[in-house]
Structure 1
Amino acid sequence: MAFPQLDLKSEKGPKAVIKTNRGDITVQLFPELAPKTVQNFIELSKKGYYDGVIFHRVIPDFMIQGGDPTGT
């Protein structure tokens, strides 16, 4: 099984950079697979919706979850 999104250099299309106090995280966006989600994320990001938002769920070596301004 190939995971092309793990090699961002070969992926075309929009990317987002999530700036954290532990370093930056670059993520690939896939508008051809999730057009409304990508559009919504980009619009909210440009408006500063996610500025200062915490990761309210962290499972080491597995996942992070954020995006809720209330942190719940």
Structure 2
Amino acid sequence: MRHYTVTPNKDATAWYVKIEDVAPTEEYDKRDKAIEAGVETAKENKPSTLSILTKEHEVEEKRTYER
């Protein structure tokens, strides 16, 4: 199962979608756009999970997408 993360940069001025918490795939200027992209990516690559982090880098929500 793949794991995706929506996470802010160091000072929360940009948001990333990361695969397996390794490297960012895209950078977004708004959190909502990063979440949309993360959901789309996770749904396209089922089975997968998506963790959405806060500005403080804490897990706010975790979603699972099954086949």
Q: Compute the TM-score of the two structures, normalised by the length of structure 1.
A: 0.27
Q: Compute the TM-score of the two structures, normalised by the length of structure 2.
A: 0.28
Comparing both structures, which one devotes a greater share of its residues to strand? Answer: 2
